[in-house]
Structure 1
Amino acid sequence: MPVTDADRLREIFEYETIAVVGCSSTPGKAAHDVPRYLLEQGYDVIPINPNATEIFDRPAAASLSDVDREIDVVCLFRPSEEVAGIVDDVLEREDVPVIWTQLGISDDEAAARAEESGRAVVQDRCMKVEHRRHVA
């Protein structure tokens, strides 16, 4: 069952490193503005975008498998039909306790697989909105 509890959401925001799959270099897009907000709040944001070499003056990884350091939260800005494949990538790693899909993005089957592996899943919620609601 995806996380909706306010206390659990606050706990998730205690993590530090957030890999943003689908991070955009275009200001004005949610996939740019939300990770920028998280960066401004002190989070270590790892942009993941195969079409960019750098976003926010940080190197952009082409995929999760290209990130060779620990990740706490994987935040997805990709269409719902791509969630299952990204969850597969997360399941290959042992270091990701949380998968978060942004507003309008969900895949219940992929979420169930992630939860069965012990990961917390937040679906169809904006990290910026939830951070402001529960932390800021």
Structure 2
Amino acid sequence: MMLDADAIRALLTESRTIAVVGLSTKPERPSYGVAKYLQLHGYRVVPVNPTHAGEHILGEYCHGTLTQAADAVMRAGARIDIIDCFRKSEHVAPVVDEAIAVGARCVWMQLGVIDHAAATKAETAGLAVVMDKCIKIEHAFVMR
């Protein structure tokens, strides 16, 4: 079930920590621009990208896996609220499995990222799902 504007507004208002899976180190990439926007609007962004694990992106330590990121956030006394997925559709299912395992509140699949089976699995596990929408665009729209 896709979230409507009111549910997205509530989700974005109540969330504080967003793991960005597939966050790039390149400023020209959409994932970087979206993550920077989220930081500028008060969210803690937790980078997840195995290629850049151990590096810092936008001032935050990059983790190799979502599980590692969730463990680090938990040690700091918080939890990951939203998993923002910048992966190709065919790579979403393992991200959803990890999101369920770490107890995330929501899996957000960016524009063009569509996996109905993974979305159903996440919803069945109790996670909110947003699919084929940009979190930056939705934030700008519902939080105005």
TM-score, normalized by the shorter chain, greater than 0.5: yes
How far off its partner does 1:50 sit? 1.2
Please tell me the residue identity of whatever aligns with 1:129: I
Q: Secondary structure at the match of 1:47?
A: strand
CA contact (8 A) 2:67 2:98 kept: yes
Quote the residue 2:76 is aligned against: none
Once residues 2 and 116 of structure 1 are traced to their aligned partners in structure 2, the CA distance between those partners, rounded to angstroms, is: 13
How far off its partner does 1:58 sit? 1.1
Q: Secondary structure at the match of 2:102?
A: coil
How far off its partner does 1:2 sit? 2.3
* Structure 1 segment 21-40 matched on structure 2, within 5 A: 21-40=21-40
Residue 90 in structure 1 maps to residue 92 in structure 2: no
Q: How many residues align?
A: 134
Return the TM-score normalized by structure 1.
Answer: 0.95
Please tell me the residue identity of whatever aligns with 2:21: V
Map Cα deviations across residues 84-121 of structure 1 (whole Å, 9 max, x no partner).
11101112122x11110000001000100100111100
Identity of aligned residues (%): 40
Residue 13 in structure 1 maps to residue 22 in structure 2: no
Quote the residue 1:72 is aligned against: 81
CA contact (8 A) 1:17 1:73 kept: yes
Quote the residue 1:127 is aligned against: 135
Once residues 57 and 6 of structure 1 are traced to their aligned partners in structure 2, the CA distance between those partners, rounded to angstroms, is: 31
Query: What is the Cα-based RMSD across aligned positions, in Å?
Result: 0.8
Please tell me the residue identity of whatever aligns with 1:87: V
Return the TM-score normalized by structure 2.
Answer: 0.90
Spell out structure 1 runs of 4+ moving beyond 3 A. Answer: none
Residue 99 in structure 1 maps to residue 107 in structure 2: yes
Once residues 121 and 56 of structure 1 are traced to their aligned partners in structure 2, the CA distance between those partners, rounded to angstroms, is: 26
CA contact (8 A) 1:17 1:71 kept: yes
Q: Secondary structure at the match of 1:104?
A: coil
Unaligned runs of 5+ in 1: none
Q: Which moved more, 1:123-132 or 1:48-57?
A: 48-57
Q: Which has the higher helix share?
A: 2
